[in-house]
Chains A and B, each alone.
Chain A
């Protein structure tokens, strides 16, 4: 980097607010990004473009996939067997590199997803993870006391149900296929979408119950 390129003065990083002070890790990140651009490893726009792609997805996309799986048993099987193909089929092409795995909650098994090493999350379908997912507290406690953690989120899992904590420490990204709530038998796919919460896609919560008949 040239002398007038540091963050102490000279050129200001685009997008930084006036007078904003950055933490040391944030400064290091910006410095690395600038270095990578300067050396031609990435283009000046690459980081922003990737962030835009991630931000374009949200838990609502996961909710649509879950509602389809609840109403179409053949689609559900394909989603569990070959998530990439099943998602492409409903208009969600998953970026290459990310391997998505869908784990199904049943009467007997409840899955909870965590990444103890960092914050691996199925961003290609659900967008960026919630802040608590990246917190040290969640990452350390989810593997050692999952039932306690779920209780704090308001979810009590019956003792007879097997809790399976999935630590996505390597190359797979896990999404939970939550159980379809009782009393939703007659509901249409588009109405079921609204019941699927982000928490239920990570396993710390359950989908919302259907609204009471008025």
Chain B
């Protein structure tokens, strides 16, 4: 059962690990929104070491505002986004944005 749904605000765990995983460093600790459910797949973090990869893990296409990732250095439109597939074990609920604060998805 998928824990998150499209539109949910999620934070990528900031964990630094030495083992094989598919979470790019540049989105770790960042807040985005679930764009779509990508399906469930054998866990690459287990399969990389000869495991079965079971149980399968949910994968999500998560969207981040380019401005929130790169700040003012980003050269492009306000709407520009990055979408990246992130496994459920790397996501936690981010709650609602605090009023008055810059929305960190954009």
Q: Which residues of A contact B (CB under 8 A)?
A: 99, 101, 116-117, 143-148, 159-172
Contacts and interface: CB of A to CB of B under 8 A. Distances in A.
A66 B79 CA distance: 26
B95 to A, nearest CB: 25
A172 B85 contact: yes
Contacts of A145: 74-76
B55 interface: no
B26 interface: yes
A159 to B, nearest CB: 5
Contact of A167 (B59, B76, B84): B84
Contact of B24 (A159, A164, A167): A167
Contact of B41 (A117, A147, A167, A170): A170
A3 B8 CA distance: 58
Contacts of A164: 63, 80-83
B44 A117 contact: no
5 A-B pairs closest in CB distance: A170-B85, A167-B84, A162-B79, A163-B80, A171-B41
Contacts of B93: none
Interface of B: 22-24, 26, 38-39, 41, 44, 59, 61, 63, 66, 69-70, 73-77, 79-87
Contacts of B41: 99, 170-171
A171 B38 contact: yes
A116 B24 contact: yes
Given A148-B75, A171-B38, A171-B41, A143 B26 contact: yes
Of A101, A161, A171, the most chain B CB neighbours within 10 A belong to: A171
B76 A168 contact: no
B58 to A, nearest CB: 11
A193 B87 CA distance: 36
B62 to A, nearest CB: 10
A170 B80 contact: no
Nearest to B83: A166
A147 B83 contact: no
Contacts of B23: 169
A101 B59 CA distance: 14
Contact of A146 (B22, B44, B63, B80): B80
